[in-house]
């Protein structure tokens, strides 16, 4: 089945947005397959964003993800990857539509509250990399 790895980033956890975010995915109708509050290991954070390693903001991005616990989730359903990206909104929260998570709760690209996988393959890959695969049963 198609899955998306969705992570409430440290700012979202710290600001108390976890319940709001989970509620949006639940009300949309996707199935929650795994959930864990955890401190991302540095090497996992670096690997997670390795496609951006040449960007000037890469170091800050990894530091951001390491700055506190995240809520890691696996959501399942047909079309969940693209749909989650719609629920999340554009990368830069100032460009995200109102009604999206980033559009409603963020103003800085470097503090944009939530991650969602950008392809089904990456949904599988990220879920395995964050060691949530065993909890999908």
Which residues on neighbouring strands pair with residue 34, listed in sequence order?
A: 74
Task: Identify each DSSP E strand in the chain by its residue range.
Answer: 3-8, 31-38, 70-76, 114-116
91 forms part of the interface with ligand ATP (CB under 6 A)? yes
Residue 23 binds which one of ligand ATP, Mg ion, none, with CB within 5 to 8 A depending on kind?
none
List 112, 123, 130, 132, residue binding ligand ATP (CB under 6 A): 112
Token pair, residue 32, equals 């929650």
Rounded to whole angstroms, the Cα distance separating 94 from 74 reads 27
Rounded to whole angstroms, the Cα distance separating 68 from 95 reads 26
Single out the segment in contact with ligand ATP by CB under 6 A; choices: 32-40, 68-76, 111-119, 125-133. 111-119
110 forms part of the interface with ligand ATP (CB under 6 A)? yes
- Closest C-alpha among 27, 129, 78, 133 to residue 115: 129
Q: Choosing from 24, 33, 111, 115, which is the catalytic residue?
A: 115
Min dist. Cβ of residue 69 to Mg ion (A): 20
Nearer to ligand ATP, 115 or 130 (CB): 115
Cα-to-chain-centroid distance, residue 19: 14
Residue ranges that bind Mg ion, judged by CB under 5 A: 118
Binding site for ligand ATP (CB under 6 A): 52, 57, 61, 91, 109-110, 112, 115-116, 118
Annotated catalytic sites, by residue? 115
């Amino acid at each position: 089945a198609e899955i998306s790895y969705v992570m409430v980033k440290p700012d979202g956890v710290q600001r108390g947005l976890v319940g709001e975010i989970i509620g949006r995915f639940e009300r949309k109708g996707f199935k929650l397959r795994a959930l864990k509050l955890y401190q991302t290991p540095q090497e996992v954070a670096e690997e997670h964003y390795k496609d951006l390693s040449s960007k000037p903001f890469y170091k800050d991005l990894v530091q951001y993800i390491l700055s506190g616990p995240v809520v890691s989730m696996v959501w399942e359903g047909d079309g969940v990857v693209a749909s989650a990206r719609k629920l999340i909104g554009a990368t830069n929260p100032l460009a995200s539509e109102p009604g999206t998570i980033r559009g409603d709760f963020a103003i800085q690209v470097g503090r944009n509250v939530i991650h969602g996988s950008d392809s089904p393959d990456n949904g599988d890959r990220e879920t395995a990399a964050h060691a949530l695969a065993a909890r999908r049963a």
